Amino acid sequence: MKVYKAIALPTLLYGSETWVAYSHNLKSLEKFHDSCARKILGIKWQDYQTTDSVFDKANTTSIEAIVVKSQLRWSGHVFHMPDTCLPKQIMYSEVEDVKHTRGGQRKWYKDTLHRSLKECSIRTKTGERLGLTEMLGSYQFTMR
């Protein structure tokens, strides 16, 4: 399990700080994560173990919790950057003259960030004022 956490998970989640998290992508990653944990621990589907109990035995959390934590950490770094830095300018910019494609609107990173803040019960203004990186140290992720 230590090798999986040290090599496979970082490779799987490379750049997840800046992903626009779609639920179907997270479900696919979650299935892979669950199956890897079950194979490593030797748990068969006939054992009727829940995903939460498998993650408890593996001493790990869900992919969604890992992605949300990394996104909030990165957003905290962006909030603390000087106003002249490009990532902060892009984060606070508004896009004009956007053509919408067929099939509905696509999500933006800001949509993902606002959803993550809402799920973690962090108000947007409070997160910006206090700095998200400081808040993550004391916040326990219970999302599964």
Task: Tell me whether residue 143 is in a domain.
Answer: no
**Do 78 and 20 lie in a common domain?**
no
**Do 54 and 10 lie in a common domain?**
yes
Task: Tell me whether residue 144 is in a domain.
Answer: no
Task: Tell me whether residue 18 is in a domain.
Answer: yes
- Helix/strand/coil (H, E, C) string of the chain? CHHHHHHHHHHHCCCHHHCCCCHHHHHHHHHHHHHHHHHHHCCCHHHCCCHHHHHHHHCCCCHHHHHHHHHHHHHHHHHHCCCCCHHHHHHHCCCCCCCCCCCCCCCCHHHHHHHHHHHCCCCHHHHHHHCHHHHHHHCCCCCC
**Do 74 and 23 lie in a common domain?**
no
**Do 23 and 54 lie in a common domain?**
yes
**Do 33 and 55 lie in a common domain?**
yes
**Do 56 and 73 lie in a common domain?**
no
pLDDT score at 110: 74
State the average pLDDT over residues 9-19: 90
Q: Please give the Cα distance from 32 to 63 (Å, whole number).
A: 10
For residue 57, give its domain range: 2-61
Altogether, the residues listed in the chain come to a count of: 144
pLDDT score at 137: 43
List the single range of 12-21, 57-66, 91-100 with lowest mean pLDDT.
91-100
**Do 54 and 74 lie in a common domain?**
no
pLDDT score at 100: 65
State the average pLDDT over residues 48-58: 90
Task: Tell me whether residue 101 is in a domain.
Answer: no
Return the higher-pLDDT residue of 7 and 119: 7
Domains of the chain: total: 2
pLDDT at residue 143 tops 50: no
Q: Please give the Cα distance from 16 to 68 (Å, whole number).
A: 9
Return the higher-pLDDT residue of 14 and 131: 14
Task: Tell me whether residue 100 is in a domain.
Answer: no
